[in-house]
Structure 1
Amino acid sequence: MRKGTNPSKADHKMEISSTHRVILSVYIPELKSDYFKDAKTIFKYCIESLLNTVHADTRISIIINGCCEEVTQLIYDYQKSNQLIDQVFYTRENLGKINAIYSIVKSNLEPLITISDADVMFLPDWQNQVEQVFVDFPEAGMVSPVPSSKGFLYSTASTMYYGLFKGKIKFRNVQDPEGLINFQKSVGSNLYQKIHLEKYLVVSNGINEAVVGCGHFVATLRKEAFEAAPTKVCEFRILGNSDEDYVDEPNDLAGFLRLATLGNYAYHLGNSPQPWMEEKLQQIINSSPASASLEIPEAQAFSKTQYKIGKFLTRLLFNKFRKQYFSYLGVNEPY
């Protein structure tokens, strides 16, 4: 038998004071094997750098995605001591990165959502720099604090349309080549040639410039960018084009730009701690507090027709006639 009236019926509309949510999916099943033995240390660099670089209008969600007991307890300890961590989701089995992220995305209202791997070190001012790109480019739907010289190759049809018909696409000098070098070291691969460390492709609109394309190990998206994502559950825990299908392509299909900041404001750490990481973390902790959140303008998405035009031009200028097009833009070396 039910007595009285549920109080929530009188206050049925949800309202939030936060403007930016950060989602960390953590998968550290054990700490003994070579691959995971230092994962706890790397995660501590990640969460502590995040807590020391976000503004007060941020909320943090952590998914315990099949973690061992020691890491699980560490995450709950962080939640108890940090009010910005307002959500911790626990699952005994590894749901996969995408399914874990989407369990949070679909249940929160913040206009901006940053998704990040648990091996990222956030640098001071990353959030303000990312939000500034959304302010200056209302058409942006996905912005990373880590630029990539090869980011233009993937899911940038809407960005291409914008660059050719509303703004301008050009090459400019890489602002922080050390950031690119650190990233390729962290993944253990020589991703970039000399020219990639010197020049990257940017789009400008007379107000600001941003790098064309970005990676997805850390990126901020408008909430609307997820609306074009597949509705079915992702079948892959990792790989299988899951990031592309559920993050990168939906943003492009929704008619939004895929961009990155000119400077490098986060590091991908990999799974092997280095002495510089502890030093950098101490610098982050001692840095000035993050500035207030920016007011993000309403989304301005392109139409499906404009996306298709951009898709055609991307294939034409970034693939079939890349050498000629990039030569026209001033880069004559193979890129």
Structure 2
Amino acid sequence: MRSGFNPNKDQLVPPSKYLHQVVVPVHIPHQTDYFKESLSILQFCLDSLTATVQPFTLITVVNNGSCEAVVQELNRRHHEGTIHEIIHTTAIGKVNALLKGLVGHQTPLVTLTDADVLFKPGWQEETIDLFEKVERIGAVGLIPQMNLFRIDGFSLVWEYLFSSRLRFAKIPDVAAAERFYDSIGWNRNYNPNHLLYNLQYTENGKSMWVGSGHVVTTFRRDVFREIQQSVPHQLGGDSEWYLEEKPYQFHYHKVTTASNFAFHMGNVSESWMEVPSTMPKTSTRTHIALSPSAPKINRVAYYWRYRFWRRIMMNTPLLFRWCILRKGLPKSVIDSW
């Protein structure tokens, strides 16, 4: 039976004090073999995250079928208040865990990050600055990677192919770039020139690399105005691309910060991994000034630009060579690119 009237009926959800959400999916099913040091890596990740964000940040962790030791660690942090929201699920897959964390909030920005990312001071400030100063940015990554413009930055190549805003530039921190590829298990037998130059875009005094990876990326929330119920893969397959293509459905651009503002740690603790000192929690920011939301483009326009023409331009040797030569890549490295 029911007695009385529920006071919440027909009431609007009160405005949130948060401007930026960070969603961290965690899958550590046991503490042996591949996952032997994963709990320590997770602690580095969460400690660095809480040390480098301002109070307007909502931290959501989705426990994606982890073992009891991880559950206890996450519950402890939630009880202390360093994690604001925790969702416990069975092993439903990384992207499905991210989708669970996304819904229910209205922050203008949302960062989706792996649980093995070490955040550096200033990442949040630089990310917000890019969104506010550069028109039509839909996603900002924190870890510069080589050749992203060929796969994940074609919107800028398409629009600024004949503009001086888009030029190749030298990568300032080659050691940090090498560290990323070490962390994902690559041998150093890749083309070394790919770590010396990258395609850079400049607008309103801000420079950034073209494209963004999927290890840690901040999105405009409005790109997720339409999301599906679930994706079929635990990890990999086309599940990552489901999120990565979202900005292009609105003709937004994807970029990465000019400096390395995060490190991918992998699954083995190393001596260089240090949690930064806690930044002063002094921000009085009450809003993030994003450009107006863009309408979703139709499916034909999306495939014409981001599938058909991207493949033609980036996979036709003569056309690609002309493109990188026009964008200022030195002739001395073009032949070996």
Q: Is the 8 Å Cα contact of residues 22 and 60 (structure 1) preserved in structure 2?
A: yes
Residue 105 of structure 1 and its aligned partner are, at CA, apart by 1.1
Q: Is the 8 Å Cα contact of residues 61 and 86 (structure 1) preserved in structure 2?
A: yes
Q: Specify the alignment match of 1:62 in structure 2.
A: 61
Of 101, 107, 118, 1:104 maps to 101
- Is 1:180 aligned with 2:173? no
Secondary structure in structure 2 of the residue aligned to 1:7:
coil
Distance 2:18 2:37 in 1: 33
Secondary structure in structure 2 of the residue aligned to 1:141:
strand
TM, length-normalised to structure 1: 0.89
- Is 1:301 aligned with 2:298? no
- Is 1:260 aligned with 2:256? yes
Secondary structure in structure 1 of the residue aligned to 2:328:
coil
- Which of 114-123 and 147-156 deviates more? 147-156
Q: Specify the alignment match of 1:87 in structure 2.
A: 85
Distance 1:308 1:64, change over 3 A: closer
Distance 1:138 1:300 in 2: 11
Q: Aligned letter for 2:63?
A: I
Q: Is the 8 Å Cα contact of residues 160 and 310 (structure 1) preserved in structure 2?
A: no
Q: Specify the alignment match of 1:17 in structure 2.
A: 17
Unaligned runs of at least 5 residues, structure 2: none
Q: Is the 8 Å Cα contact of residues 158 and 307 (structure 1) preserved in structure 2?
A: no
Distance 1:176 1:317, change over 3 A: same
Secondary structure in structure 1 of the residue aligned to 2:324:
helix
- Which of 310-319 and 146-155 deviates more? 310-319
Q: Is the 8 Å Cα contact of residues 124 and 290 (structure 1) preserved in structure 2?
A: no
Q: Specify the alignment match of 1:285 in structure 2.
A: 277
Q: Is the 8 Å Cα contact of residues 52 and 289 (structure 1) preserved in structure 2?
A: no
Distance 2:182 2:93 in 1: 25
Distance 1:199 1:253, change over 3 A: same
TM, length-normalised to structure 2: 0.89
Aligned residue runs from structure 1 range 1-335, under 5 A: 1-9=1-9, 11-31=11-31, 33-83=32-82, 85-91=83-89, 93-164=90-161, 168-190=165-187, 192-227=190-225, 229=227, 231-244=228-241, 246-277=242-273, 280-281=274-275, 284-285=276-277, 288-289=280-281, 291=283, 293=285, 295-301=288-294, 303-304=297-298, 310-311=305-306, 313-320=309-316, 321-331=319-329, 332=331, 333=333, 334-335=336-337
Distance 1:158 1:14, change over 3 A: farther
Residue 166 of structure 1 and its aligned partner are, at CA, apart by 7.8
Distance 1:166 1:329 in 2: 9
Distance 1:299 1:259, change over 3 A: farther
Distance 1:17 1:167, change over 3 A: farther
Q: Aligned letter for 2:198?
A: Y
Residue 5 of structure 1 and its aligned partner are, at CA, apart by 2.3
Distance 1:168 1:268, change over 3 A: same
Q: Is the 8 Å Cα contact of residues 149 and 201 (structure 1) preserved in structure 2?
A: no
Residue 2 of structure 1 and its aligned partner are, at CA, apart by 2.4
Q: Is the 8 Å Cα contact of residues 55 and 281 (structure 2) preserved in structure 1?
A: no
Secondary structure in structure 1 of the residue aligned to 2:35:
coil
Distance 2:46 2:33 in 1: 22
When the two chains are superposed, the root-mean-square deviation of aligned CA atoms in Å is 2.3
Residue 328 of structure 1 and its aligned partner are, at CA, apart by 2.0
Distance 2:172 2:250 in 1: 30
Secondary structure in structure 2 of the residue aligned to 1:189:
coil
**How many residue pairs align between the two structures?**
326
Q: Aligned letter for 1:56?
A: P
Q: Is the 8 Å Cα contact of residues 161 and 327 (structure 2) preserved in structure 1?
A: no
Distance 1:13 1:81, change over 3 A: closer
- Kindly provide the CA deviation profile for residues 127-148 of structure 1, in whole angstroms up to 9, marking residues without a partner as x: 1111111112230111111121
Q: Is the 8 Å Cα contact of residues 114 and 220 (structure 1) preserved in structure 2?
A: yes
Distance 1:193 1:17, change over 3 A: same
Unaligned runs of at least 5 residues, structure 1: none
Distance 1:190 1:288, change over 3 A: farther
Q: Aligned letter for 2:294?
A: A
Paired-residue identity, %: 28
Distance 1:117 1:240, change over 3 A: same
Secondary structure in structure 1 of the residue aligned to 2:255:
strand
